[in-house]
Structure formats: structure tokens, C-alpha cells
Amino acid sequence: MYRIISGKWKAKKIAAPKNFDVRPTTDFAKEALFSILENKYDMQSISVLDLFAGIGSLTLEFASRGCQDITSVEMNPKHTAFINSTAADLDMALQINVQRGDVFDWLKKFRNKKSFEIVFSDAPFETEKKKYQEIISLVLNNRYLKNNGVLVVEHQSRMKFDHPNLIDTRKYGNVSFSFFEPNKEENTDNQE
């Protein structure tokens, strides 16, 4: 069970089936994250890529706050079906594009096709550090971020990243969000 914190569906509780093995971002951490993001972006005019979307805790939060262009990538077919049905129930189906697939394969397949202001990655907590680094590289090196974009990686607080694009890490108990800026490009004429 999780709760949409703000926006059109503020305080709406979302109950996932009991047999789902998920760990939605805590309300406390989610509230802090959106406070940071809403200081930088107008939610109604951005596009978001939610990697490892799980049962859609962040996807639905973005949609509730007015974001009209959300792509959610999740491998588990039960989870993608849950996001789709919940989005339909809440009249968010037109805002959310759910893609079923392995995040690593998806990032390789769709590289250089679309850029986003926010890319959010919440890989399973047991994911190895080198896999986190692969996600960071795939996102930053394949133009998934617009020039004003940010990659947000949710991870266990004991994991630390040393990366030239790392601009900030915020810790909320055993969960941390690390923020990465896009690669600097010499020619920015062809950016969206």
C-alpha cells in the first residue's frame, strides 16, 4: 500500500495485491524528492522516464502532479498491468506510457530516440554497484537527458557514487537519492 502525496489525487491510497514483492519509496523520501524536483521543474511541462517502475508509486505521483508525459519501464508483467489498470481507474492513462521490459535492454534499444527532463531509477536494492554504474552510463551517454535534465538514482544509503556528473546526494534513512547532471555537449543545436 502506498499513498499519492500531492496533486489531483492527493492522499489517495493505492493498494497492490498482497503477493507483489515491491518496496515503494517511503512517503517521507518521496515528499522530499518531489520538493526538490518541483523547485526546479514545472511538472505540467516536462517529460519523465521512470525506470524499474515497480507498481507505479512515482509514476502515479508525477501524473497526479500534472505531468502529461511519463514513460514507465518495468519487467514484471503483473506490475505493468497494475500500473495500467490503476492509471485507467484514476483517468491518468493518457499521461502514462507503460513499457514492459528489462531496463538495461530497454535503455540500449531506445537510445538517442527521446530525451527527458527527469529520469528516475529505483533499481532493486540488492543490485550490484557496477549495475548502477551501467544504468548511469546508459542514461548519460545516450541522450536520455535534456540539457536541463537530471538523473535521480534511488539507492541504499551505504552505497556511494564517485562520478563526474554527480551533483548531489540526499539521504533519508537507509534510502538515498543521487542526482546526476547531463553530459556537457559541444554541439547542443540538435537537442530537443
Kindly indicate the confidence band of residue 78, based on its pLDDT and cuts at 50, 70 and 90: very high
pTM, full prediction: 0.92
Distances (CA, A) of 74 to 54, 59, 81, 146, 158: 6, 11, 10, 22, 25
Cα Rg of the chain (Å, integer): 16
Using one digit for the tens of pLDDT, what is the confidence trace for 29-64?
A: 899 999 999 999 999 999 999 999 999 999 999 999
> How far, in Å, CA of 54 to CA of 151, rounded?
18
Task: Give the span between the Cα atoms of 101 and 97, in whole angstroms.
Answer: 13
Q: Which three cell numbers stand for residue 51?
A: 525506470
